[in-house]
Amino acid sequence: MKPIISPSLLSANFLHLDKEIEMINESEADWLHMDVMDGVFVPNISFGFPILNAVGKVCKKPMDVHFMIVHPENYIQQTADSGAAIMNVHYEACIHLHRTLQAIRSAGMKAGVTLDPSTPVNVLEDIIGDIDIVQLMSVNPGFGGQKFIESTIKKVERLRQLINRENSKALIEVDGGVQADTAPRLVKAGVNILVSGSYVFKASDPKATIHSLKELETL
C-alpha cells in the first residue's frame, strides 16, 4: 500500500494561500495537515478558525487538523463545522482523553491522538481501540523545519507492536522532519501517514516532491 501524504500548511506561503491550496488540490496529496497553536501549550502561535474556515471552502482534500493548544475539547464542534475530517489532540493536553475522543467521533470526524517526543507509546495501551490515528511528533512541537529526532523510528516500531497486539485499526502518523532520508525509514518501520511541511512547500516542484513520497511502499 502507498502511504497517506498530508502536507503541512504551516510551511506554506500565506501571502499566496490560494495558490498553495490550488497546488494541493492538483497534487497527489491525500490530506492537508493544519497546525493550530495557541502560544500556551507550545511556544508559538499559528492560525485559527478564520484560516480553517476559509481553507475548508476551497480545499478538495480532507483537512487533518492538529491542535497544539490547551483545552482542545472546547473546539470540537467548531472544528467539525469548518469541514475538518480529522481532529488530532495531544495526549498531554487532555485530562479526559476518552471523553474527548468520543466527542470528536460524535461530531463526525476521525479522532487522533498526538504524542510529544518524550511521551512513551504505552500510555495509549488502554485506549488504543478508541483511536483512529496516533500521531508521533518527531520534532518538538511548535515550529516547522526542525531536525528529525532519530529515536522516533524505534518509537514507531513499538507503537506498531502495540496496535497489532491489541487488534487496533489505528493508523500511525508522523509529523516533523519528514523528507527524502527519513520518509523511507519511517514507512519501513510501520508509518501509514507522512506529514511533511518544509520539504514539500519549500521544494522547487512541490507536486513532484509529493509524488516521490507517495511512491513509497507501506507495510
pLDDT grade for 189, boundaries at 50, 70 and 90: very high
Tell me whether residue 203 is in a domain. Answer: yes
Q: pTM score, two decimals?
A: 0.96
Question: So what's the pLDDT on residue 219?
Answer: 65
pLDDT of residue 141: 79
pLDDT of 144 reads 66
Instruction: List the catalytic residue out of 18, 30, 35, 64.
Output: 35
Mean pLDDT of all residues in 42-53: 96
- We report the CATH number of the domain holding residue 12 as 3.20.20.70
Q: Rounded to an integer, what distance in angstroms lies between the CA atom of residue 1 and that of residue 18?
A: 31
Given a cut of 70, whether residue 110 has pLDDT beyond it is yes
**Mean pLDDT, range 121-146, rounded to an integer:** 91
Q: Any idea what the Cα angle at residue 161 is, between residues 213 and 217, rounded to 5°?
A: 20
For residue 169, with 0-12 CB atoms within 10 Å meaning exposed, 13-18 middle and 19 or more buried, which class applies?
exposed
Q: Which one is catalytic: 30, 64, 132, 175?
A: 175
Please indicate, yes or no, if residue 206 is contained in any of the structural domains. Answer: yes
Asked if residue 146 has pLDDT above 80, the reply is: no
pLDDT (tens digit per residue) in 80-97: 999 999 999 999 999 999
Domain-embedded: residue 104: yes
206-216 pLDDT tens trace: 999 999 999 99
Asked whether residue 199 is assigned to any structural domain, the reply reads yes
Please give the tally of structural domains in the chain: 1
Residue 219 belongs to a domain: no
Query: Is 126 one of the catalytic residues?
Result: no
Task: Give me the mean pLDDT over the 123-143 stretch.
Answer: 93
Q: Is 132 a catalytic residue?
A: no
- Give 145's pLDDT tier (boundaries 50, 70, 90): low
pLDDT average, residue stretch 100-109: 98
Q: What is the mean pLDDT of the chain?
A: 96
Q: Which residue reads 532519530 in cell numbers?
A: 150
Greater model confidence, 144 or 148: 148
For residue 55, the enclosing domain spans 4-214
Report pLDDT for 137.
96
Question: In this structure, is residue 118 part of a structural domain?
Answer: yes
Question: Cβ contacts of residue 165 below 8 Å, gap of 6+?
Answer: none
Contact 194, 183 (CB under 8 A): yes
